[in-house]
Chain A
């Protein structure tokens, strides 16, 4: 069995995985698995009837449809030619993700100015070229701009100064 379309192959598995995931968490683990494990592994919601649908009804039906479509896509991947999956470039992915996470989790402790600078540096590092002076200037400019527009202009409740500075000159 040769995989004729790599994209479809993995897409199919992704859909099946999501479908099964939602069905599993909507219905909960079946009795016999709970008995083996000892406790209720995953609790579910009520199915209800088709007449009086419970919270699990829609997710199970949709999950089933999704898994079924995933199987069709899998079938397609064996039968029809399709494109390959282009290589994953992890560097931009990781740096962009980390920069936004860093920003979010550092905003309260470090304040808007420092958190913005951190984000700019990390995300710039994930790009093709990284020149220290350029990035430094850009980060300061953007940090100041953000404070002016978002905190002063739109009055968003963001801390501007880091936590360890007791009274912030800018508010």
Chain B
């Protein structure tokens, strides 16, 4: 009899564990990229902070592949017990669904979006030799030389690429897209004048802008960036409604219990409000997002998904 009870208790063990106070065992934060990129770095920063406040180890696990899809799918299809988190980003939630022919997960139905961590604007930069000192002159130049200007990006389907496509569509110009593996080689070619312009994210472009190796013309957000307050936005420069940022945050599986999601959200927000963490994120070019709650995040994801689905379709960008 006792043995039977013991067996029953063992079998019920896993379910009992989740009924206990969460968290009662280590958490897993999946960064669906290779170690070292900005998302990976912010994941490690966050993990260190959460570890302190939750009292349980938070282990960052790199699961690179397919633009981040593999890692996100892992969490979407995994146990919804609140111990598996994933760094979800604009690519995996809003762009890849239309960029890739088939995605193994549904960004709205399979995932619960907890907190938006980082929002980084993109900056329109041009090479110093280009005779365009502001957006108007650039548009005029592009219209004068259709197909002669090259714009670089970090990869096919990246925000830099799509920003360029959006720009082309809104201004009615034709520029040639040159994809690179990451923004660093693109920046190098831009400094040398081999490509003419690029929509790079602020963090990676800022050093080059400050050292005047490239010229910044505008930012891609509706509001001006506090890092470069004298830089107009594309919206101000005539492209009404142009608003693109690179963003990423934390998500969990859809069926994760609400109290766990609330607690997670509260803890992450607490970490984000801590001055040293806020500073470090700022150093990556991020302004503290106005979107705080999981519901706000969820509706943000939905609207971004809609925007980019259309944009990708109209621009014809494809990954296979």
Asked if A and B are interacting partners, one says yes
Please determine whether B14 and A157 come into contact, CB atoms closer than 8 angstroms.
no
Please determine whether B59 and A166 come into contact, CB atoms closer than 8 angstroms.
no
Instruction: Report the bound CA distance from A171 to B60 in whole Å.
Output: 14
Chain A, Cβ-Cβ closest to B60: A157
Please determine whether A171 and B26 come into contact, CB atoms closer than 8 angstroms.
yes
Contacts of B207 in A (CB 8 A): none
Contacts of B65 in A (CB 8 A): none
Please determine whether B25 and A157 come into contact, CB atoms closer than 8 angstroms.
no
B residues touching A (Cβ–Cβ < 8 Å)? 13-14, 17, 24-26, 28, 57, 59-61
A-B contacts at CB below 8 angstroms, number: 13
Instruction: Report the bound CA distance from A143 to B61 in whole Å.
Output: 22
Please determine whether B14 and A166 come into contact, CB atoms closer than 8 angstroms.
yes
Please determine whether A166 and B57 come into contact, CB atoms closer than 8 angstroms.
no
Q: What are 5 of the A-B contact pairs (CB < 8 Å)? A: A157-B59, A157-B60, A166-B17, A166-B25, A167-B24
Chain A, Cβ-Cβ closest to B25: A167
Q: Tell me the interface secondary structure of chain A in the complex.
A: loop
Please determine whether B17 and A171 come into contact, CB atoms closer than 8 angstroms.
no
Instruction: Add 10 more A-B contacts to A157-B28, A157-B59, A157-B60 (CB < 8 A).
Output: A155-B59, A157-B61, A166-B13, A166-B14, A166-B17, A166-B25, A167-B24, A167-B25, A171-B26, A171-B57
Instruction: Report the bound CA distance from A71 to B53 in whole Å.
Output: 66
Say how far B95's CB is from chain A's closest CB, in angstroms. Answer: 20
Instruction: Report the bound CA distance from A166 to B13 in whole Å.
Output: 8
Q: Scan residues 142-171 of chain A and give those whose CB is less than 8 A from a CB of chain B.
A: 155, 157, 166-167, 171
Instruction: Report the bound CA distance from A168 to B204 in whole Å.
Output: 41
Say how far B244's CB is from chain A's closest CB, in angstroms. Answer: 28
Say how far B198's CB is from chain A's closest CB, in angstroms. Answer: 21
Chain A, Cβ-Cβ closest to B62: A157
Say how far A68's CB is from chain B's closest CB, in angstroms. Answer: 29
Contacts of A157 in B (CB 8 A): 28, 59-61
Instruction: Report the bound CA distance from A155 to B61 in whole Å.
Output: 10
Contacts of A155 in B (CB 8 A): 59
Contacts of B59 in A (CB 8 A): 155, 157
Say how far B183's CB is from chain A's closest CB, in angstroms. Answer: 22
Pairs A-B, 9 closest by C-beta atoms: A157-B59, A157-B61, A166-B13, A171-B26, A167-B25, A171-B57, A166-B17, A166-B14, A157-B28
Say how far A159's CB is from chain B's closest CB, in angstroms. Answer: 10
